[in-house]
Chain A
Amino acid sequence: MNDVTATQALAPISVTALRNGSGARRTLTLSVLRYNPQEPSSRPRMQPYTVEEADGMTLFIALNEIREKQDPSLQFDFVCRAGICGSCAMVVNGRPTLACRTLTKNLGPNITLAPLPFFDLIGDLSVDTGKWMRGMSERLEGWLHMKNPDPDLRRMEEKMDPDLADKIYELDRCIECGCCVAACGTARMREDFVGAVGLNRVARFHLDPRDTRTDDDYYDVIGDDDGVFGCMSLLACHDVCPKSLPLATQIAFMRRKMVKIGWK
């Protein structure tokens, strides 16, 4: 591995490239929406950067190369760089997605990058999803409400149907990346809308027999226009979710449940 540069060696590559090497390289232009709210003189603007494409280059590789070699002030967020932590959601050519697992070879030579809308901007491509997610979680009480918060840990665990455990995990796979909210029409109009991420959270606890809450309790937190009745069923959330969560089904399910309570 001594004969390749650090950037190349870090780049994920396709097996075809591994076997054969690859042909001519493209020059990519990444146009990035720049703005640093901490700097009084800063004004929002598009700034183009050019990079030489490498085999298996992702936006993680490209943006780091730009920051290391061209512009040390460029702000963005990556943590796991493997598509599992949800840090790096941004708008790539108009569509919210995870930048770390976006391969440049699947994009044209001109790539436009902008921060997720809706969330507080920290700077450039970095937004404060964490603050919003915590606020949402506090409002929805997004934690399991335990029957017995202090179980005897020496005893065997309570049983759970294996299929049910799998179903709960299916909804627990959300990585709170914010793509669903960034793509949401309702969120554009209602700043307190809990979003598909919030409704999916509630659906997850609703499904979990370990949670003591009733439909009435859930109605209290999502039974209004900032909750499940605010959704206009545009379903962009479902389309952009990087984890392919069944958001459309879950929102429809929760709406039906909540309508029943509302009619009572």
Chain B
Amino acid sequence: MKVIYTDVLVIGGGLAGLRMGIGAKRRGHDVTILSLVPPKRSHSAAAQGGMQASLANVIKGQGDTEDIHFEDTVRGSDWGADQKVVRMFVNTAPKAVRELAAWGVPWSRVREGDRTVIINGQPVTITERSEAHGLVAQRDFGGTKKWRTCYVSDGTGHAMLQTMSDQAIGAKIPVHERTEAIALIHDAGRCYGAIVRNLVTGELVAYVAKATAIATGGAGRLYRVTTNAVICEGMGSAIALDTGIATLGNMEAVQFHPTGIFPAGILVTEGCRGDGGLLKDVDGHRFMPDYEPEKKELASRDVVSRRMEEHILKGKGAKSRFGDHIWLDITLLGEKHIKHNLREVYEICHHFLGVDPTKEWIPVRPAQHYTMGGVRTNYRGESPTLKGLFAAGEAACWDMHGFNRLGGNSVAETVVAGMIVGEYIADFCDRLDNEVDIPTKLVHEFLRREQAKLDALTDGRGTEDASAIKASMQDLMTAKVGIFRRGEDLEAAVEELQHLLKRSRNIGLKERSRGANPELVTAYRVQKMLKVALCIAYGALTRTESRGAHYRQDFPRRNDADWLKRTLATWPRETETLPALTYEGLDVAGMELPPGWRGYGAKDYVDHPDTPKRAADVESLKQRMAGAPRFAIQQALMPYETMLPERFRGRNERIDERMDEPVETAK
């Protein structure tokens, strides 16, 4: 039996995993990172558009603060988010951009003077301040009141991941590439590491750790049409679910991005619309203002995606032999802007569509894009039910996105959560009573059990085809658990997914060669993916309301009275075919921003009984404190600062909010 010991085992080498690892390493702990692929190939690299942080450097971001970022994020979440976590996030996001600026990210910078931008389809001249020249620039994104999205051309995720990965190499953190955690080692409510398969040799190895952190990204590949990379199969959520103890939060909250190129689903960034691109129908008509007069193309993603599908259902989609689609027109932005600020978009259109987006429109249709749900954690990033298990980034339900994530808040979350959770992991490892004290016999037992499962696939007499089951699952999820959901479809989906799960227990392999064996990989993964798919479909069936990206045609209203709560899924026994669902209520009386209308989308919702009182309390407190500093009002409404690790506390300096007195260094 091969066992590797480490203080911190990070599963996933994208932005969140790397940042957690760097944080724990800086605090003196031994860190090992597992990654399916070389870390710079992680899906973080695909984030094109940018990262939200209220730096307020550009003129259209002037006046932006954490307060406005907070409100935008909570409204975007359709009040499903944990507001204290959102506060932790918005206060740390500027620090994250500044940290990365110091670490090497070549953020696009503000250029003083006049420039022409496209706003609402029209060229407008804006003038950047000279004192902002050379500071990190921001662009416009959906669902935001200010221009807040910091960016590196349109390769933001790529550039961030380059820098983060470089710094991890500089910190001498070992990354075990081409390895996959296939089970967590746990006993009596405590996680002790993972059983890991080497994807080159096929060998199983046990990694024993004080703290185990899941940062495996999303689960887009449960769907047929997705913007996600092929490695985004929800394995982190799946192995957490397999413990029977850790919970997954809000798995039914799945985001569809408005502009996947049609029909391949490859993403073109929200920056296309943020920079002034328009959505047009079969007649070349710009239809979004008809539906969303306030935010138009720049309402939140769930709203824009639904409006596009709604418009297609009215027969207004452009026709093709693959079905109907919408056009994205960015020609009005001009060749220079497209080839410079939207170069990835230009390349993708050129290589995959044969379209020149400086002259032609881009065929788009919403595609699965983001998994709001994930391993449920507390604000420290730790599972409330399985001690020693942490999660961050898209794999986690921390929960700052609720039922819809804003564009630019995902890469921001990876780094911010990586910073915060990395510190809490280090705190955890500092405590003597968190030393590992499990018998190697237990480790061996887990290893033996996982080997037996794989052997059953390679040596057994199963007859089912793994690829075929996977394809059926993906078709089912796209057809029945997509943008528009209905009770009868969801019932059918849950039924059929259960059937597929049973069939997956009878997979037989054609290929028994040693080493990588890609067919074996598909087989053991699809068994796990089906459980995650069932958490999504069953959660969606049970939630009889519409909230954020979860839209039920048979229950179109948001219903705070019954559903202002987070879905928690567990898988108590291996032999089951359905998860167990429980719910945790959100505390309206503690909310800084009581539930209301989002400012776009449907205006119709059912109030929570506590909402009117809380809204009145918040209003009267704001009146009583009128004229007080915004920090004091915030503190009185919903204190959160002590929830942040000490080194990340404190205000954020801006051009219009100078820190005049010398500040001692935060340590």
Residues of A bordering B, CB below 8 Å: 1-4, 6, 8-19, 21, 36-39, 56, 58, 67-69, 72-75, 77-87, 101, 103, 122-123, 126, 128-131, 133-134, 137-138, 141-144, 146, 148-162, 165-166, 168-169, 172-173, 175-176, 208, 210-211
Contacts and interface: CB of A to CB of B under 8 A. Distances in A.
A63 to B, nearest CB: 11
Nearest to A38: B515
Contacts of A9: 224-225, 263, 322-323
Contact of A6 (B170, B178, B471): B471
B261 A12 contact: yes
B514 A38 contact: yes
A122 B516 contact: yes
A22 to B, nearest CB: 9
A36 B513 contact: yes
A83 B261 CA distance: 14
B516 A176 contact: no
Contacts of A21: 321
Contacts of B323: 1-4, 9
Contacts of A153: 94-95, 98-99, 648, 666
Nearest to A4: B322
Contacts of B264: 10-13, 56
A10 B166 contact: no
Nearest to B99: A153
Given A12-B261, A67-B518, A137 B169 contact: yes
Interface stretch (B157-165, B204-212, B386-394, B446-454): B157-165
B486 interface: no
Nearest to B201: A38
Contact of B45 (A85, A123, A165): A85
Contact of B166 (A11, A75, A143): A143
Interface in B108-145: 108-111, 133-137
Nearest to A149: B102
Contacts, number: 278
A103 B264 CA distance: 13
B298 to A, nearest CB: 24
A97 B511 CA distance: 29
A37 B201 CA distance: 10
A180 to B, nearest CB: 15
Contacts of B137: 162
Given A3-B323, A72-B518, A101-B351, 5 more contacts: A19-B320, A39-B514, A101-B352, A133-B38, A168-B106
Contact of A85 (B229, B351, B511): B229
Nearest to B159: A172
Contacts of A6: 224, 471, 474-475
A16 B355 CA distance: 9
A166 B108 CA distance: 7
A72 B104 contact: no
- Give me the 10 closest cross-chain CB pairs, A-B, nearest first: A38-B515, A130-B38, A159-B134, A144-B104, A72-B519, A143-B166, A1-B323, A143-B170, A153-B95, A12-B352
A137 B513 contact: no
B37 A166 contact: no
Interface stretch (B76-84, B530-538, B624-632, B652-660): B652-660
A87 B41 contact: yes
Nearest to B39: A130
A175 B41 CA distance: 8
Contact of A18 (B42, B320, B474, B666): B320
A109 B11 CA distance: 42
Grouping DSSP codes into helix (H, G, I), strand (E, B) and loop, the B interface class, with mixed when no group exceeds half, is: loop
B650 interface: yes
B102 A146 contact: yes
Given A6-B224, A9-B263, A123-B516, A157 B103 contact: no
B153 A169 contact: yes
B99 A72 contact: no
Contacts of B225: 9-10
Given A126-B516, A154-B666, A138 B169 contact: yes
A42 to B, nearest CB: 8
Contacts of A2: 323, 479
Contacts of A103: 351-352, 354
A164 to B, nearest CB: 8
Contact of A11 (B263, B363, B513): B263
Nearest to A10: B264
A212 B192 CA distance: 41
A77 B162 contact: no
Contact of B136 (A157, A161, A211): A157
Contacts of A83: 347-348, 351-352
B511 A72 contact: yes
A80 B134 contact: no
A88 to B, nearest CB: 10
A36 B515 contact: yes
Contacts of A11: 263-264
Contacts of A1: 263, 322-323
Contacts of B46: 80, 82, 84-85
A6 B511 CA distance: 24
B134 A162 contact: yes
Contact of A144 (B103, B111, B344, B352): B103
A73 B267 CA distance: 30
A110 B511 CA distance: 27
